Amino acid sequence: MKILITGGLGHIGSKLIHSLKRGQFKEVTIMDNLLTQRYPSLFNLPSGTDFKFYERDICTADLNRYFKGVDVVIHLAAITDAASSFDKPDEVKRVNLYGTRRVAMACVRNRCKLFFPSTTSVYGTQDEIVDEGCALKGLKPQSPYAESKLKTEQLLLKFGQRYGLKFCICRFGTIFGTSIGMRFHTAVNKFIWQACLGEPITVWKTAFDQKRPYLYLGDAVNSISHIVRKGLFINEVFNVVTVNSTVRDITEAIRSFIPDLKIRFVTTRIMNQLSYEVSSEKFEDTGFKFNGRLRAGIAETIGILRG
């Protein structure tokens, strides 16, 4: 089997390519625009796999050239920082929505199956445990980033009906855990970065005791492999969440390793007022098992930062 990974040098992509086993895939093509210059993600790739790398942008590249003969496209290229997406909504739409439209159309033309990671942020404000059955009118994305992901989900559903595109959408929880291409702009990892630098953790005022969905990076990568192996390109949406936790839970776990941790409460344009949990039961019913643990993931990240 031949696969192509867009955004393959990023936080998730770098973990994925470094976790591949000998003989798992006949050929792995990596595409990344290197905007964030994560060159080290290409260092020491595992042997036994035919890797090809192209410095290309999904918004401008001739995708047909690279998608020809590919069985599965794992589309990870995206702008993922929800907080900063308010300052660049047009760019977020250009990359996340229109860029994915180009990817999906190239998949249609070349008969590739498509994996697309959406986000549990599409649920917005909820007052209960939510699952994939939540009606479209009940989804309340709270940022341009989340809005772009939800619009892309709807786009792929139309492509499936209109053009026969075979895809799988996973609504990932907020990622925590380490990779060679990681960044520190989302909740758990950002908190750990601040704590390791001796800075106060900046927490949204309304969020401290609100429960939110999180996904261990190892589980994220394993979920992609599971989908490819099982052939779950059945044009459905799956929630993929390791744990639902409060910010208080996270900060206390960090404090167990960094006792002098300080917290500073701040305001934000993303001010979800309700606590909610996201169910992954549908995905677990496909035979997937989550192995990540919040405290272990925090310990792993602190260990790397502090040596």
The pLDDT, as a whole number, for residue 142 is 84
Same domain assignment for residues 102 and 191: no
| C-alpha triplet 106, 162, 32: angle, nearest 5° | 25
Neighbour tally for 12: CB within 10 Å: 26
Same domain, 55 and 112: yes
Confirm whether 148 is domain-assigned: yes
Asked if 17 contacts 5 with a C-beta cutoff of 8 angstroms, the reply is yes
| Among 19, 72, 25, 65, CA closest to 46 | 19
What per-residue confidence (pLDDT) applies to 194? 95
Question: CA dist 181 to 51, 188, 293, 296, Å?
Answer: 17, 16, 21, 20
Whether the Cβ atoms of residue 299 and residue 257 lie closer than 8 Å to each other: yes
- Whether residues 32 and 107 share a domain: the answer is yes
In the prediction, which pLDDT does 210 show? 86
Residues 95 and 62 in one domain: yes
Q: Are residues 132 and 249 in the same domain?
A: no
Alpha carbon distance 304, 210 (integer Å): 28
Give the pLDDT of residue 137: 87
In a domain, 287, yes or no: no
In this structure, is residue 36 part of a structural domain?
yes
Helices (H) and strands (E) in the chain, counts: 10, 14
Cα angle 150, 84, 154 (rounded to 5 degrees) comes to: 10
pLDDT for the residue 6: 98
- Write the DSSP symbol of residue 62: -
Rounded Cα–Cα distance for residues 212 and 110 (Å): 38
Q: How many CB atoms within 10 Å of residue 270?
A: 18
Which amino acid, 256? S
Q: Which residue has the tokens 């260990």?
A: 303
pLDDT at res. 96: 96
Q: What is the CATH number of the domain that holds 253?
A: 3.90.25.10
CA distances from 80 to 11, 237, 277 (A): 10, 19, 21
Integer Cα distance of 133 and 270 in angstroms: 24
pLDDT, averaged per 10 consecutive residues of the chain (307 residues), comes to 97 97 94 94 94 97 97 96 87 96 98 97 82 90 93 98 98 96 91 95 82 96 98 98 95 96 80 76 98 97 91
Considering the domain architecture, whether residues 193 and 236 belong to the same structural domain is answered as no
| 60: Cα separation from own chain's centroid | 22
Let me know the angle formed at the C-alpha of 237 by 14 and 103, rounded to the nearest 5 degrees.
Answer: 55
- Cα 17-19-24 angle, rounded to 5 deg: 85
Q: How many structural domains comprise the chain?
A: 2
Among 116, 111, 106, residue whose Cα is nearest residue 60: 106
Structural domain harbouring 30: 2-175+215-242
CATH number at residue 149: 3.40.50.720
Specify whether 248 is located in the same domain as 120: no
Q: Are strands 211-216 and 243-246 parallel, antiparallel or unpaired?
A: antiparallel
Shared domain check, 181 and 125: no
Sign of the CA dihedral 149, 153, 154, 158? positive
CA gap 298, 300 in Å, rounded: 5
The pLDDT assigned to 205 comes to: 74
**Is the Cβ–Cβ distance between 32 and 8 less than 8 Å?**
yes
* pTM check: above 0.85: yes
Q: Give residue 16's pLDDT.
A: 98
Assess whether 207 and 104 both reside in one domain: no
